[in-house]
């Protein structure tokens, strides 16, 4: 991933020319602590005027002709199309099949996953915390994109890393019941719980779907307080956005 404008990171993946993608950091906005600075989430306690201003800055920096398709994320597996986006639909993934509003998901430790096809005709974004991953949000997004999975590529964005994401037995069991090979994504922690690797879990599920091109960012949102929001680290905090869209 390389730096773009202040607060923006460009995914390092072989997306075709007609696909644009970006991931934000916490830098470059107007929100005050503990949401400093570039919080894009409206439902986490920040001043709505600051968030709206930050969203306006995002559109200006990216040169977006239309407002992104903001979602009301609920840690589920529902997928919507940007053409059907109304007032923040309750969903955790969004897809698009033509130029228009960017697909966007917000995170502060959960894993953002971007999708596009090799021909550059369809794109999608999914919000994958452990509940969404176990529930099948990535599989639902692949299905919604409506093409053979081998024609898709995916990019896994910044999320909480395997050295910081401590979970209980019930989380590990939820994955092992579906995929016994997922035990490699869990390591014993010093507290008697488990350290989970969200990216490894996502890779396994995407590979099982038939995707062969999967790229990943390695940054840990929990460990890098300068660049990233982290709910696990800070509790009350902002949200970063990961966007993808088609251009003419």
pLDDT digits (tens, 9 = 90+) for 2-46: 444 567 999 999 999 999 999 999 999 999 999 999 999 998 999
Cα–Cα distance, 106 to 44 (Å, whole number): 12
- 2-160+210-246: CATH architecture: 4-Layer Sandwich (3.60)
Q: Which residues contact 220 (CB under 8 A, 6 or more apart)?
A: 158, 159, 160, 161, 163, 164, 228
Higher pLDDT, 129 or 86: 129
> What is the per-residue pLDDT across 122-137, written as a single tens digit (0 to 9) for each?
999 999 999 999 999 9
Give me the pLDDT at residue 2, please: 43
pLDDT at 52 exceeding the cut of 90:
yes
Q: How far apart are CA 153 and CA 94, in angstroms?
A: 16
Query: In angstroms, rounded to a whole number, what is the distance separating the alpha carbons of residues 60 and 192?
Result: 48
Task: List the single range of 5-9, 139-143, 168-172, 240-244 with lowest mean pLDDT.
Answer: 5-9
pLDDT of residue 205: 97
CB-CB contact of 183 with 176 (8 Å): yes
Query: Residue 175: pLDDT band by 50, 70, 90 thresholds?
Result: very high
CA–CA separation, 128 and 132 (whole Å) = 5
Exposed e or buried b per residue across 123-148, where buried means at least 16 C-beta atoms within 10 angstroms of its C-beta? bbbbbbbbbbbbbebbbbbbebbeee
> In degrees to the nearest 10, what's the CA dihedral of 73, 109, 228, 234?
100
pLDDT of the residue at 49 = 96
Mean pLDDT (the chain) is: 95
Q: For the sheet containing 213-216, what is the strand order? A: 79-81, 93-96, 123-128, 111-117, 152-156, 213-216
Cα(103)–Cα(111) distance, integer angstroms: 15
- The confidence score (pLDDT) of residue 10 equals 94
| Structure-token pair, residue 131 | 């509940």
Residue 5 confidence (pLDDT): 58
């Amino acid at each position: 991933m390389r730096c773009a404008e202040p607060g923006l990171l460009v995914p390092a993946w072989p997306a075709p020319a007609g696909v644009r993608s970006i991931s934000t950091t916490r830098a470059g906005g107007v929100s005050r602590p503990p949401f400093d600075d570039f919080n894009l989430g409206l439902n986490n306690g920040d001043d709505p005027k600051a968030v709206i201003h930050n969203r306006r800055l995002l559109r200006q920096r990216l040169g977006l002709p239309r407002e992104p398709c903001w979602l009301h994320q609920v840690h589920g597996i529902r997928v919507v199309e940007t053409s059907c986006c109304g007032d923040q639909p309750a969903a955790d993934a969004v897809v698009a099949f033509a130029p228009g509003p960017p697909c966007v998901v917000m995170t502060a430790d959960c894993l953002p996953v971007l999708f596009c096809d090799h021909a550059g005709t369809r794109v999608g974004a999914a919000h994958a915390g452990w509940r969404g991953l176990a529930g099948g949000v990535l599989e639902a997004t692949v299905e919604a994109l409506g093409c053979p999975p081998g024609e898709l590529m995916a990019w896994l964005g910044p999320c909480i890393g395997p050295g910081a994401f401590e979970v209980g037995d019930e989380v590990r069991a939820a994955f092992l019941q579906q995929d016994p090979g997922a035990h490699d994504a869990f390591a014993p922690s010093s507290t008697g719980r488990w350290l989970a690797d969200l990216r490894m879990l996502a890779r396994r599920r995407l590979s099982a779907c038939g995707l062969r091109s999967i790229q990943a960012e390695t940054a840990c949102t929990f460990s890098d307080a300068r660049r990233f929001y982290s709910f696990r680290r800070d509790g009350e905090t902002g949200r970063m956005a990961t966007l993808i869209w088609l251009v003419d």
